[in-house]
Chains A and B, each alone.
Chain A
Amino acid sequence: MHALLALAAQNPGELQAGLTAVGRGIVYGGAAIGPGIGIGIVVGNAITAMARQPEAAGQAQTTMFLGIAFTEALALFGFVLAFIISG
């Protein structure tokens, strides 16, 4: 620990760069959790709906894509945020 701190004190830029990279990873990883579950729920329920009412499959599909798009946006915000974070 002391050795690490000493290293960091020697080269503050590298510490910053490293922490930035870690932060990016955490941001994107955290942002991907919720939408992952959400997209799973959306697609699963859409498939159930399509299986129950094959005649309304087109409608269900369009709505499913919209639902995926809305949910996925959250993950993509995280993705973009990871780029925005800079040391």
Chain B
Amino acid sequence: MRTRKALVAVVLGLGALGVMAAPVYAQTSPPTSTVQNTGGQNTGSGTGGETTGATSKPKTTAKECIDKLEHGGKIDDCQKAPSPILPAANELLWGSLAFIILFILLSRLAYPALKKGMDTRAEKIRTSIDEAETARTDAQNVLEEYQRQLADARSESARIIEEARQAADRLRQDLKRQAETEVNELRGRAQEDIQAQVQRAMADLQGRVGELAIELAEKVVERSLDRETNLQLIESYINHVGTR
């Protein structure tokens, strides 16, 4: 803000200089014949005053000459070519006005509008970048969450499978053991059955053998056969029974 004030002060100062200088220049008296003569002398050198329009030539040359005289110059100055180094008063005045007007308009109107546009764009880009950054971190978090969940699920499923395998193992062992005991039990029972059957059959046989012996004796007695025949008979019977 202070710089702006300083600039305005400088500009006003220079402007005042120009305005004050203007009336001095404005008091140009109409051209006189003597000046016209001096103006005419210098055109031959080529670097001299104004040589374009035949009508305007003496007038403008004269004016410039009078300007010079009013500024304390010598009459010789009119004859010399105006130095290309020194600033011409009219160009200086118009140029300074142009610059000041341009500066005021640029700094008041054009630059703030442009700066505002650029600043809002910069702000917009900055917020966009920030938003993108936050969105990225969010996505990163979500991804990590998912990955963690996935890992959890994977380990969970592995655990379940392991558990199932162990259960199946245990079940198989149980079943095997159960089957073995059952088989043993059955086998024992069958053997006991066989034993019992054998016992019963032996007892049965012994009973029957007695009966048969008696029967046989009766038959032997009835037939009264000779001794040899009796013996034969008994033997064959006993053999018969023994084979059974």
Contact = CB atoms under 8 A, between A and B. Distances in A.
Q: Do chains A and B touch in the complex (CB under 8 A)?
A: yes
Interface in B76-93: 80-81, 83-85
A86 B84 CA distance: 12
Interface residues of B, number: 5
Contacts of A83: 83-85
Please report whether the interface of chain B is mostly helix, strand, loop or mixed according to DSSP: loop
Contacts of B81: 86
B80 A84 contact: no
A35 B84 CA distance: 23
Contacts of A80: 85
Contacts of B80: 86
Interface in A44-87: 80, 83-84, 86
Interface string B79-119: 01101110000000000000000000000000000000000
A84 B80 CA distance: 12
Contacts of B83: 83-84, 86
A87 to B, nearest CB: 9
A23 B83 CA distance: 17
Nearest to B86: A84
A32 to B, nearest CB: 18
Interface string A2-21: 00000000000000000000
Given A80-B85, A83-B85, 7 more contacts: A83-B83, A83-B84, A84-B83, A84-B85, A86-B80, A86-B81, A86-B83
Q: Which 3 A/B pairs are nearest by Cβ-Cβ distance?
A: A83-B84, A83-B85, A84-B85
